[in-house]
Amino acid sequence: MDPKTGKVLSMVGFDKTDPSNNPCVDSRFPAASIFKIVTASAVVEKCGFQPGSKLSYNGRKHTLYKSQLKDRRNRYTNRITFRDSFAQSVNPVFGKIGAHYLGKIRLKSMLKHLTSTKISILRLRLLRVSSIYPMNLTSGPRSPADSTIKQKYLPFTVQ
């Protein structure tokens, strides 16, 4: 996406059962991942999350049940960085961020801010997620953030 204009520069999707179908524009797939941009922007700005911030979740990455919002740790708990949870679009992580860190008021405030300005994607440059940047077809995506970023541990992190 071009951060100045909002123009979509690249969109990739694949449906192995129907290769002619693009799941990115298929109404059977909800656009929850779009709201992850709002959530990520808010938590970076309001709570100081960093790309290397450690998070945890239970269950599958692409489901979101009420039970996945609980702060519990057991042998099924998965650990992931904020950068990777954004790149992989991990629903339980973003559900927990919204529920435990931001709440309805902060999320609505960020949504209003992002939809009333032209800087929505610029905030996410902090994440340096390679999937956000345009793909250079000869050299591939830009490299992820360097490993010198300080680790910040969050309350629902298993250290």
Can you tell me whether residue 139 is helix, strand or coil?
coil
Question: How far does CA 109 lie from the centroid of its chain?
Answer: 18
Question: How far does CA 157 lie from the centroid of its chain?
Answer: 17
Taking the C-alpha atoms of residue 24 and residue 2, their distance in angstroms, rounded to an integer, is 18
Kindly report, residue by residue over 93-152, the tens digit of the pLDDT.
Answer: 999 999 999 999 999 998 888 777 555 454 444 444 434 333 333 333 333 433 333 333
H-type alpha helices, the chain: 32-47, 82-87, 91-97, 103-115
Taking the C-alpha atoms of residue 3 and residue 121, their distance in angstroms, rounded to an integer, is 5
Beta bridge partners of 35: none
pLDDT of residue 2: 73
pLDDT of residue 117: 57
pLDDT of residue 147: 30
pLDDT of residue 8: 75
67 is in which domain, residue-wise? 1-159
Pairing of strands 54-57, 78-81: antiparallel
Taking the C-alpha atoms of residue 48 and residue 51, their distance in angstroms, rounded to an integer, is 10
The first and second tokens of residue 158, run together, are 């298993």
pLDDT of residue 30: 60
Domain count, the chain: 1
Tell me if 57 sits within 8 A of 96, measured CB to CB: yes
Angle between helices 103-115 and 32-47 (to 10 degrees): 100
pLDDT of residue 137: 35
Kindly report, residue by residue over 17-49, the tens digit of the pLDDT.
Answer: 887 877 777 766 666 777 898 999 999 999 999
Taking the C-alpha atoms of residue 52 and residue 150, their distance in angstroms, rounded to an integer, is 7
pLDDT of residue 59: 95
Tell me if 83 sits within 8 A of 54, measured CB to CB: no
Per-residue pLDDT averaged across 85-90, rounded?
A: 92
Kindly report, residue by residue over 56-71, the tens digit of the pLDDT.
Answer: 999 999 889 999 999 8
pTM: 0.60
